[in-house]
């Protein structure tokens, strides 16, 4: 085994940060933030909000039947 000073873990822990890498990381974060904030695509505007009038018309209970007669028919 090598000496403690030659340890990979120690070299990584004590490594100095490169200012160019920090600037690039900051630029990437800024780009990501601006594209997220100013994205014009809003998928929630395109999704159906629930059943429409045709579905309600088709699935509406009959107006002439009472609740008791409907229960007798189902059992």
Does residue 17 belong to any structural domain of this protein?
A: yes
More confident residue, 46 or 5: 46
pLDDT at residue 56, rounded to an integer: 87
Does residue 27 belong to any structural domain of this protein?
A: yes
Cβ pair 10, 4 in contact under 8 A? yes
Does residue 73 belong to any structural domain of this protein?
A: no
Q: What is the dihedral of CA 51, 57, 59, 61, to 10 degrees?
A: 130
Count other Cβ atoms within 10 Å, centred on residue 19: 8
Does residue 71 belong to any structural domain of this protein?
A: no
Does residue 54 belong to any structural domain of this protein?
A: yes
* Number of domains the chain is built from: 1
Query: Residues 11-47: pLDDT tens digits?
Result: 777 776 666 778 888 899 999 888 888 888 877 777 7
What is the domain range of residue 19?
4-59
Does residue 75 belong to any structural domain of this protein?
A: no
């Amino acid at each position: 085994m090598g000496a403690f000073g030659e340890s990979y873990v120690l070299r990584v822990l004590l490594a100095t940060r490169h200012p160019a890498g920090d600037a690039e990381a900051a630029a990437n974060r800024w780009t990501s933030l601006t594209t997220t904030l100013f994205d014009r695509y809003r998928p929630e505007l395109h999704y159906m909000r629930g059943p429409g009038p045709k579905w309600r018309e088709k699935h509406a209970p009959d107006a002439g039947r009472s609740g008791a007669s409907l229960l007798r028919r189902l059992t």
